[in-house]
């Protein structure tokens, strides 16, 4: 039995990655997200155990061979920000536990966190991850690389983490149809290094 914990700064794609991993029938994850665009984290399958990791001793681990849970750094509980105890949670799982850190462009993260939570918290999240001693990241999962490479990237992740991923599921295109980074960007007509690039390109012709 193995469990994958996906964690990262608030706004770095917990819901998106939870949907991706929940697609495979052999993985017990946040299946309810596949029927709704967004659900509060209090309804994540392991939410109650993040509040009290000791209760994982009562969990029925016979349901699957593969489990996925996600948690934000920080996560919100009753309107207040809380830092999850990843090491205590992992210590209660009676099997192999892997930690995958999700990430997103730092500029987008800062804008998104300020807009949604009223403050930028990703630096505190990075400091917390640096403090972990009993469990270390096995992989870093990129919001941008998933949107760019899709199935190619998911195949690599599946091999790296040893967890089945439904790389050919048609619902992946639906999940990734809207790149939520897009609203943060605007095109520019010209940047000074463009001239250098154009000159260099012509030079070799």
Helix axes 106-117, 122-131, angle to 10 degrees: 110
For residue 154, give Cα distances in angstroms to 96, 161, 162.
Answer: 21, 10, 12
Rounded to whole angstroms, the Cα distance separating 65 from 42 reads 24
Nearest to 84 by CA among 14, 161, 162, 138: 14
SS (H, E, C) 152-185: HHHHHHHHHHCCCCCCCCCHHHHHCCCCCCHHHC
Whether 115 and 25 have beta carbons less than 8 Å apart is answered as: no
The domains of the chain, with CATH numbers, are 2-203 (3.40.50)
Dihedral angle over CA of 21, 22, 27, 31, nearest 10: 160
At residue 96, the pLDDT reads: 96
Check residue 189 and give its pLDDT: 86
What is the residue-level pLDDT of the chain in tens, covering all 205 positions? 999 999 999 999 999 999 999 999 999 999 999 998 889 888 999 999 999 999 999 999 999 999 999 999 999 888 888 899 999 999 999 999 999 999 999 999 999 999 998 999 999 999 999 999 999 999 999 999 999 999 999 999 999 999 999 999 999 999 999 999 999 888 888 888 777 777 776 655 5
pTM greater than the 0.85 cutoff: yes
């Amino acid at each position: 039995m193995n469990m994958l914990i996906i964690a990262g700064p608030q706004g770095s794609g917990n819901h998106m990655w939870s949907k991706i991993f929940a697609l495979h029938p052999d993985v017990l994850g946040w299946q309810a997200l596949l029927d709704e665009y967004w659900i509060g984290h209090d309804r994540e399958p392991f939410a109650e155990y993040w509040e009290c990791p000791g209760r994982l001793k009562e969990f029925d681990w016979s349901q699957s061979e593969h489990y996925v849970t996600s948690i934000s750094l920080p996560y919100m509980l009753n309107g207040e920000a809380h830092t999850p105890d990843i090491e205590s949670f992992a210590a209660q799982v009676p099997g192999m536990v892997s930690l995958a850190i999700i990430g997103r462009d730092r500029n987008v993260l800062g804008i998104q966190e300020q807009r949604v939570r009223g403050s930028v918290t990703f630096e505190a999240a990075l400091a917390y991850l640096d403090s972990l001693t009993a469990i270390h990241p096995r992989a870093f999962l990129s919001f941008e690389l998933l949107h760019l490479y899709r199935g190619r990237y998911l195949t690599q992740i599946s091999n790296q983490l040893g967890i089945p991923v439904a790389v050919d599921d048609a619902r992946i295109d639906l999940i990734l149809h809207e790149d939520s980074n897009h609203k943060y960007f605007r095109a520019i007509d010209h940047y000074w290094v463009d001239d250098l690039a154009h000159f260099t390109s012509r030079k070799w012709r």
